[in-house]
Amino acid sequence: MTFKLACGDVMPGCAQSFDAESREVLLGQVAEHAAAHHAITEITPEVLAAVSSKIRVTPA
Ligand SMILES: [Zn+2]
């Protein structure tokens, strides 16, 4: 399975997108990007919920 997220779905205007083979890896990429580009250094339950709702899963 492939887990995909378009950052712009969560942070309007951001063109970054991610894909990974597991949800954990994807969230790691997102956390790194959010800290570097959006000054979001803490993944709160609210942030996690917003991100999780936008993750698309495609069968590999
Ligand atoms: Zn972004």
User: Would you state the pLDDT for residue 50?
Assistant: 95
13-58: per-residue pLDDT in tens? 999 999 999 999 999 999 999 999 999 999 999 999 999 999 999 9
Is 60's pLDDT higher than 80? Answer: no
Residue found by looking up tokens 């970054």 in the block: 16
From the CA of 7, how far away is ligand 1's center (Å)? 5
DSSP 35: H
* Domain residue limits, the chain: 2-58
When pLDDT is cut at 50, 70 and 90, the band that residue 12 belongs to is: very high
> What span, in angstroms and rounded, lies between the C-alpha atoms of 2 and 13?
24
CA of 31 to the centre of ligand 1 (A): 10
Which is more confident, 23 or 60?
A: 23
Q: Is the pTM of this model over 0.85?
A: yes
State how far the Cα of 35 lies from the Cα of 47, in Å rounded to an integer.
12
DSSP label at 44? -
Task: Please give the radius of gyration of the chain, using alpha carbons only, rounded to the nearest integer.
Answer: 11
Tell me the CA–centroid distance for residue 34 and ligand 1, in Å.
6
Dist. CA 60 → ligand 1 center (Å): 25
